[in-house]
Amino acid sequence: MAMFEFGVICEVFGLDRTADGLPGFDFRVCGAEPGKPLPSTTPGVTVTPEYGLDELVKADLVAIPAFPANQPLNPVVVDAVRTASENGAIILTVCSGAFLAGAAGLLDGRKCTTHWMHADALAAKYPAATIDPDVLFVDEGNLITSAGTAAGIDACLHLVRREIGTAAANGIARRMVVPPQRDGGQRQFIERPVPECHSLGLSATLAWLTENLALPHTIDDLAARSQMSTRTFARRFAAETGTTPVKWLTTQRVLLAKQLLEEGDYGLERIATETGFGSGALLRHHFQRAVGIAPTEYRRRFGKRVDA
């Protein structure tokens, strides 16, 4: 198994925080052969499950950490997960843990997610599932699937919030020193091309652009600043950054909008002006498309606010 993803599950559900007024969980690590060490993806580290699968099949929640996606699955474990689900358990997967849920037939006809690197493989293996490779997690009631690594934290806290309440989720998040809530529909990542290029002229132009996003820009103007023809500029820009000038500029403006929403209290029209979008409507359009949630919702979740 992958130690970080396993640790996330242990951190949320395995630690005794009842002295802080937080809920206690009857947490058990189960395996096909209790007492036998299991290898991890971290060299030199093993995990020894104390309980067998007879405990898993009667659990209220079965949390499956990540493991190598091409790893053969033990049919006994697959059957146990399927039986637990049939007995009414909630199944929660982190990263490639979705492959085990798929083997148990729990993804068929349902929406789910996994780490974006594994999305194509999951879709090919379980074509009856609807895989969304962009989101942090998907809540399908008794099935919750999450993306890679830290997205497991979001999925676990979401489940605590859903089943026990906001106060419990916020308390656990505070102890973990993580944001109490990231929306499941938020994108797994936003690619940010780094303004470092082999061409000194292009590198200088990108550095200048990041400091002057509020200004209007045309390809002709940027080519002239880089001392290139428009055609050469567009070709070299794509070769150096992997994207077009317009897409790169839009991404930088969205990233600046995120920063302003997190750190300040400007209205949307002011942020649209500061980022170069020009209007709140255009800002909302590009922000929703890139981040997955509206600017106002992003500010509600991640902006600075006075703690009650």
- The SS3 assignment for 308 reads coil
Average pLDDT over residues 99-121: 96
User: Do 152 and 15 fall into the same domain?
Assistant: yes
- pLDDT tier, 210 (very low <50, low <70, confident <90, very high otherwise): confident
Q: Which residue has the tokens 């990108």?
A: 206
**CA 86 – CA 175 distance, rounded (Å):** 34
User: Do 150 and 268 fall into the same domain?
Assistant: no
User: Do 13 and 117 fall into the same domain?
Assistant: yes
**CA 83 – CA 81 distance, rounded (Å):** 5
**pLDDT for position 304:** 66
Whichever domain contains 133, its CATH number is 3.40.50.880
The whole-angstrom distance between residue 146's C-alpha and the CA centroid of its chain comes to 7
Each residue's pLDDT tens digit, 282-299: 999 999 998 888 999 888
User: Do 157 and 272 fall into the same domain?
Assistant: no
User: Do 167 and 205 fall into the same domain?
Assistant: no
**CA 10 – CA 47 distance, rounded (Å):** 12
User: Do 172 and 231 fall into the same domain?
Assistant: no
User: Do 90 and 239 fall into the same domain?
Assistant: no
Strand partners, 98: none
190 in any annotated domain: no
Q: Could you tell me the two tokens for 196?
A: 């470092």
Using DSSP, how many helices (H) and how many strands (E) does the chain show? 14, 8
Strand partners, 146: 94, 137
What type of residue sits at position 221?
D
CA dihedral over 151, 146, 95, 157, signed as positive or negative = positive
User: Do 245 and 139 fall into the same domain?
Assistant: no
40 in any annotated domain: yes
Indicate if the pLDDT at residue 90 is higher than 70.
yes
User: Do 155 and 62 fall into the same domain?
Assistant: yes
pTM equals 0.66
195 in any annotated domain: no
116 in any annotated domain: yes
Q: Could you tell me the two tokens for 234?
A: 């567009």
User: Do 33 and 170 fall into the same domain?
Assistant: yes
Average pLDDT, the chain: 90
183 in any annotated domain: no
**CA 11 – CA 7 distance, rounded (Å):** 6
Whichever domain contains 214, its CATH number is 1.10.10.60
Of 144, 165, 170, the closest CA to residue 155 belongs to 144
What letter would DSSP give residue 104? T
Q: In the chain, how many domains are there?
A: 2
Give the DSSP letter string of 251-293. HHHHHHHHHHHHH----HHHHHHHHT--SHHHHHHHHHHHHSS
193 in any annotated domain: no
What type of residue sits at position 140?
E
Each residue's pLDDT tens digit, 48-81: 999 999 999 999 999 999 999 999 999 999 999 9
141 in any annotated domain: yes
User: Do 149 and 204 fall into the same domain?
Assistant: no
Q: In terms of residue numbers, what domain contains 266?
A: 200-302
Average pLDDT over residues 132-160: 93
Rounded to 5 degrees, φ, ψ at 69 are -65, -25
Query: What's the distance, Cα to Cα, between the start and end of the chain in Å?
Result: 40
CA dihedral over 268, 150, 81, 14, signed as positive or negative = negative
282 in any annotated domain: yes
Each residue's pLDDT tens digit, 2-36: 999 999 999 999 999 999 899 999 999 999 999 99
Check if the beta carbon of residue 181 is closer than 8 Å to that of residue 242: no
- pLDDT tier, 187 (very low <50, low <70, confident <90, very high otherwise): low
